[in-house]
Amino acid sequence: MSIRIVGTGSALPKRRVENREIVGLVDTSDAWIRERTGIAGRYISTGETVASLAAQACRRALEDAGKQAGEVELILAATCSPEEAAPCVACRIQKDIGAGNAVAFDLNAACSGFLFALHTAWAYVEAGICKNALIAGSEVLSKLVDWEDRGTCILFGDGAGAVYVEKCESGGILGFVMHADGQRGGVLAGGGRQLINPWAGRQDFRPFLEMDGREVFAFALRQVPVTVEEALGKSGLATGDIDLFVLHQANRRIIEGISKRLGADLARFPMNLEQVGNTSSAAIPLLLDQLRRQGRIERGMHLVLSGFGAGLTCGACAMEW
């Protein structure tokens, strides 16, 4: 028994910000950004929230699956950038789409969040707790980025992606792995809210995301291929069996490096980061929705999904679509 993706959806803010618009904020250029990241532009919220984008993506996933909101039994929202601590994003989604019969809660594993949520849905179905789930990855990272820091502000974009999954007797997720290395979490951290109370005294506070780009780059190149091979080993599939490797869209150079280390043709590694940048937990479901609507994913195809991010976290799964 496993789960299969039945429907996909995505949502992006209305405002697109090109590289040339960032040139006026920090010492950079369109050519510099493209060469080092592969990013040409990104979508930035001018009022859209994590929950509103997620709800829009979820509606589209349900429509794609031919399902009604009242049929949903579980809603999982993966995000590291909610506008408020409570209510959680998943409960806001439940309210906005009218899924009153669903259990709803959030997960935070940063850029690996969607995969961790997908695997959590698998566990709930495997345990017999539910038979379907709606899973969203949604971020508005623009409010956590220091727009005077060239190392981070050129990378991130806002957006959401969602999938509707159902219990299946064959196919679906065939094998998955998840890893975390909290000892090295400091290489990508911050974006918090300062807590002030009469007893806390002065505390160190990082309002913006801070990243050691070289360390994150090295972690991804080293860990993602290993994690993918682990997932393939559990699934009984080999690298050559995979039609598409749908990876976290962080940096074109990283994806090219992973392709080489796996010995797989780069043509099997679709990318949309040029248009949307790094959307963290939204990256994988957003790309899945675009690929499916372009007709590039068909039933019976074998896919690998893999993400990595702050924590540090990393995960992968192999599936039959």
- 91, 111, 314, 317: the catalytic one is 111
**Phi/psi at 23 (5° precision):** -55, -35
Superfamily of domain 2-172: Thiolase/Chalcone synthase (3.40.47.10)
Contacts of 60 (CB under 8 A, 6+ apart): 8, 9, 10, 11, 162, 289
CATH architecture of 174-320: 3-Layer(aba) Sandwich (3.40)
> Of the listed 80, 251, 278, 302, which one is catalytic?
278
Model's pTM, two decimal places? 0.96
DSSP 175-241: EEEEEE-GGGGGGEEE-------TTT-S-----SEEE-HHHHHHHHHHHHHHHHHHHHHHHT--GGG
Annotated active-site residue 119? The verdict is no
Asked if residues 118 and 165 have their Cβ atoms less than 8 Å apart, the reply is yes
CB 286 within 8 Å of CB 160: yes
Same fold, 2-172 and 174-320: yes
pLDDT of residue 185: 86
278 in active site: yes
* Terminal Cα-to-Cα distance of the chain (whole angstroms): 14
3-state secondary structure of 162: strand
Residues whose CB is less than 8 angstroms from the CB of residue 66 and which lie 6 or more positions away in sequence, other chains included: 7
| Residue 201 pLDDT | 73
Q: Where are the domains of the chain?
A: 2-172, 174-320
Q: Is 109 exposed, middle or buried (0-12, 13-18, 19+ CB in 10 A)?
A: buried
Per-residue pLDDT of the chain (321 residues; tens, 9 = 90+): 899 999 999 999 999 999 999 998 999 999 999 999 999 999 999 999 999 999 999 999 999 999 999 999 999 999 999 999 999 999 999 999 999 999 999 999 999 999 999 999 999 999 999 999 999 999 999 999 999 999 899 999 999 999 999 999 999 999 999 999 999 888 888 887 777 777 877 767 677 888 888 999 999 999 999 999 999 999 999 999 999 999 999 999 999 999 999 999 999 999 999 999 999 999 999 999 999 999 999 999 999 999 999 999 999 999 999
Question: What pLDDT shows up at residue 209?
Answer: 84
Residue 84 phi/psi, 5-degree rounding, is -150, 160
58, 80, 248, 302: the catalytic one is 248
**C-beta of residue 69 within 8 angstroms of C-beta of residue 96:** no
CA distances from 120 to 2, 70, 71, 294 (A): 12, 21, 19, 28
Measured between alpha carbons, how far is 57 from 240 in angstroms, rounded to an integer? 32
What is the full DSSP assignment across 57-125?
Answer: HHHHHHHHHT--GGG--EEEEE-S--SSSSS-HHHHHHHHHT-TT-EEEEE--GGGHHHHHHHHHHHHH
For residue 59, the cross-strand partners are none
d(CA 244, CA 201): 52
Residue 51 phi, psi dihedral angles, 5° rounding? -70, -40
Active-site residue 317, yes or no? no
